[in-house]
């Protein structure tokens, strides 16, 4: 019985550790943040490449409120190599204070990743989102394009934080 209790305790410790979400140094979430205003469809304008989005165009992220107060996350994109749509559904929840744009997102059970909105216009039309390391960065917009002034502002902010903005992939939205 004692061994079973210790095993359960160890498993809970591992789950607890894996649900912690580190963020890059000097990355600060937007504040104040209204998750209700953030809900809806966002078009991916640019991203750092990683395996789950490799070869995808026409990428969107749609956020909606779940019954339990968490956020439903639906990511969708067209794989131009395999010629098929790819979609994944996950959940997000606030990771910091209720008025901070610090969330954690999970697509795989108890494993969460950081999702930190580090720039956001007052009308919630454009967002710069950081992940758990300098390898994860997204520029999102409510429409399929973004004004050059916002693009340059977000690139400067990301570069100042240490992101290699020359590595961004500019997502085709056609």
How many helices (H) and strands (E) the chain has is answered by: 3, 9
Q: Domain ranges for the chain, please list them.
A: 2-170
Per-residue pLDDT of the chain (174 residues; tens, 9 = 90+): 433 333 333 333 333 334 456 778 889 999 999 999 999 999 999 999 988 899 999 999 999 999 999 999 999 999 999 999 999 999 999 998 999 999 999 998 888 999 999 999 999 999 999 999 999 999 999 999 999 999 999 999 999 999 999 999 999 999
Q: What is the CATH topology of the domain spanning 2-170?
A: Lipocalin (2.40.128)
- Positive or negative, the CA dihedral 101, 87, 113, 48 is negative
Taking alpha carbons only, the member of 104, 105, 49 closest to residue 77 is: 49
Closest CA to 42 of 168, 141, 145: 141
d(CA 123, CA 106): 27
State the pTM of this model.
Answer: 0.86
């Amino acid at each position: 019985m004692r061994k079973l209790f210790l095993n359960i305790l160890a498993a809970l410790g591992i789950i607890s550790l894996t649900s912690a979400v580190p963020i890059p140094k000097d990355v600060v979430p937007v504040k104040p943040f209204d998750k209700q205003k953030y809900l809806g469809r966002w078009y991916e304008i640019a991203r750092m490449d990683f395996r789950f989005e490799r070869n995808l165009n026409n990428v969107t992220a749609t956020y909606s409120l779940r019954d339990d107060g968490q956020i439903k996350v639906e990511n969708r994109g067209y794989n131009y190599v395999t010629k098929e749509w790819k979609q994944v559904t996950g959940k997000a929840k606030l990771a910091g204070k209720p008025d901070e744009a610090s969330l954690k997102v999970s697509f795989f059970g108890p494993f969460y990743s950081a999702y930190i909105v580090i720039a956001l216009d007052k009308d919630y039309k454009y967002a710069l989102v950081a992940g758990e390391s300098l390898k994860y960065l997204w520029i999102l917009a409510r429409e399929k394009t973004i004004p050059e002034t916002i693009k340059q502002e977000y690139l400067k902010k990301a570069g100042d934080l240490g992101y290699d903005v020359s590595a961004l992939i500019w997502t085709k939205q056609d």
